[in-house]
């Protein structure tokens, strides 16, 4: 790492800064996505358990118990749909944050490229100046 030409950070420092920003951004968003996906899995497990219970119970259940189980199943399915929507939103947020970071990286690359070009111009001018000064002072 360290400083590059003219006191600007070197490439290593840019990479460190970017990975720190990326970790910060994806940390919270990633945690939300992870939580939403865990909730979805737990709901799916609950629905599977309901299906198994229904299959095991067979025809021995009364109509009332069957209606209650059906209501619980519909509630669980509705909740599952909501959690899947949460997962989609969390994924979109994460993608949008990644796109922002990539945009910032692109801008940083452009700025570094401009700086490199300007640095080359300054070096060329300095070199030309040395040549001119040498001619002036050597041929007096």
Q: What is the CA radius of gyration of the chain?
A: 32
**pLDDT one-digit tens code per residue, 31-46:** 777 888 888 888 888 8
4: left (phi over 0), alpha (psi -120 to 50) or beta: beta
| Predicted pLDDT of residue 11 | 59
**pLDDT one-digit tens code per residue, 57-88:** 666 668 888 888 889 989 988 998 998 898 89
Helix %, strand %, coil % for the chain, to 5? 90, 0, 5
**pLDDT one-digit tens code per residue, 106-132:** 999 999 999 999 999 999 999 999 999
122: left (phi over 0), alpha (psi -120 to 50) or beta: alpha
All structural domains of the chain: 5-110 (1.10.287)
């Amino acid at each position: 790492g360290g400083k590059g030409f003219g006191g600007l950070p070197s490439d290593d420092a840019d990479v460190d800064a970017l990975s720190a920003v990326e970790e910060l951004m994806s940390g919270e968003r990633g945690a939300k996505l992870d939580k939403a996906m865990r909730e979805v899995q737990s709901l799916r497990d609950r629905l599977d358990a309901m299906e198994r219970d229904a299959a095991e119970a067979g025809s021995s259940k009364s109509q009332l118990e069957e209606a209650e189980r059906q209501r619980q199943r519909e509630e669980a399915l509705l909740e599952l749909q909501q959690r899947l929507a949460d997962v989609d939103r969390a994924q979109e947020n994460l993608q949008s944050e990644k796109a922002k970071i990539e945009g910032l990286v692109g801008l940083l690359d452009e700025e570094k490229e401009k700086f490199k070009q300007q640095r080359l111009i300054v070096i060329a001018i300095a070199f030309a100046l040395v040549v001119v000064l040498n001619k002036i002072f050597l041929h007096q």
